[in-house]
Amino acid sequence: MAVDIENSPQPVGYWQLVKQNPAFRNIWLGEVISFFGDWFNLIASASLIATLTGSGLAVGSLFVIRMLAPFLVSPLAGVAADRFNRKKLLITADILRAAVVLGFLMVHSPQNVWLLYTLTALQLSISGFFNPARDAILPDITQPAETGTANALSAATWSVMLAVGAALGGVVTGQFGIYPAFIVDSSSFVLSALLISNIHYKPPQDLIMAESDSTSGKLLQNYLDGLRYLYQNRDTFMVALQKAAVALTMGGAYSVVEVAITQKLFVIGHGGATGLGLIYATAGLGTGAGPILLRRLTGDRPRSLRIGLAFAYGLTFVGLLIVAPLSSFVWVIIGTLVHSSGGGINWVFSTQLLFGLAPNRLRGRVFSSEFALFTLASALGSTAGGWALDRAGPNIPIVLFGMAALTLVPALTWAWWTARRI
């Protein structure tokens, strides 16, 4: 059954949730640890490829693989989250990722770079199973008054770990070398699995029935059922498109543009690494603080969340306009804070709306399809951003103004859809 957010009691506070719900507390602590390790891994992997190959294309290929691997496994991942015990699925994914990451220790020469790409694809494919299961299990282990708080806190955790993990990952990699970062990442998955194993989880009845029903074992049919649900429920589909819309018009491209900004215009630190780290940290602050602050006004009420999504598009648009003139690095930071706040609101509010719209028996497939659209859009956006930069040359502001203009397309579409629904 879908979560009836409209009739839910007053949402609980963040500290109250962590204190009174041990199941969520363990999953959340696992997220803190594994997200921390993930950013260590990303910094170390990119540094290792750059060191071994000296190729920007080789580094860019790493990001494309990280985006496309979860997309390719999404059909199976969504079905798995709706057919199997979600707790066991999360633990299995963590253990497998811990083993895979240790394989990075074997990459020591340019001839071994193919192995790093292969292991990255495998790691992110497993993450493609973990993420939909984690999203799907949240309403199972929380009360209606807790679900929105859990969703916002989970998103804020990713943001904080983006800022802290990436920064510390750079320091550790710079001071102690690349390979210790892989050991840290592997250990983080082991600790996450141990924490998740401690939660008391009773699968919902429809999940138990799906797992025990041998006649419904056709994965393709199960996957098509999920797509059919989205096709027949246009509102759910529109909500599921929101993360992808931001990734396509702004998110993916900005990840490429910010590198050019810190390497060509405002070079702080060796190769602009310090400036890029500051932008990452600012983005982490914005994506974490934006939804938490706005949620104080909207609560978890569907009508308010829909209006909040429209407001989020406004923030991304204004933030890009602030960055676009590139008048100073301070204004780049301010603009990044504004538009990343909009991106964070988009992520949290669209997820919360899907909790209320998607039935439990299909929740994994809905979130898996949403994540597939997001990763594909991110890859396309990054490719388009790189192409636009090559054409624009030193005139980076043109690219940024173009991104801002493109953001208006999904913004106006969502505003039109919202006006029809409320």
Tens-place pLDDT, residues 335-388 = 999 999 999 999 889 988 988 888 877 877 888 788 888 888 887 887 787 778
Whether residue 240 contacts residue 368, with contact meaning beta carbons closer than 8 Å, is answered with no
Helix H or strand E segment including 243:
helix 242-246
Residue 85 phi/psi, 5-degree rounding, is -60, 120
DSSP assignment letter at 178: S
Model pLDDT, residue 137: 86
DSSP class of residue 278? H
Q: What is the pLDDT of residue 73?
A: 83
Which residue from 225, 160, 165 is spatially nearest to 42, judged by alpha carbons? 165
Residues of the chain with pLDDT under 50: 1-6, 208-209, 212, 214-216
CB atoms under 10 Å from CB of 183, counted, come to 16
The model's pTM is 0.74
**Residue 416 confidence (pLDDT):** 94
**pLDDT value, residue 215:** 47
Q: Among 67, 58, 4, which residue's Cα sits nearest to residue 355?
A: 4
Residues 6+ positions from 209 with CB-CB distance below 8 Å: none
- Per-residue confidence (pLDDT) for residue 394, from 0 to 100: 76
Question: Distance of CA 170 to CAs 39, 68, 175, 180, 280, Å?
Answer: 9, 25, 8, 12, 12
What confidence score (pLDDT) does residue 148 get?
83
> Residue 1 has what pLDDT?
41
DSSP, collapsed to helix, strand or coil, labels residue 175 as helix
How far is the C-alpha of 192 from the C-alpha of 232, rounded, in Å? 37
301 three-state secondary structure: coil
Domains and CATH numbers, the chain: 20-206 (1.20.1250.20), 232-422 (1.20.1250.20)
pLDDT recorded at residue 378: 83
What local confidence, expressed as pLDDT, does residue 57 receive? 64
- Could you give the count of Cα atoms lying within 13 Å of 278 in the half-sphere of its Cβ? 17
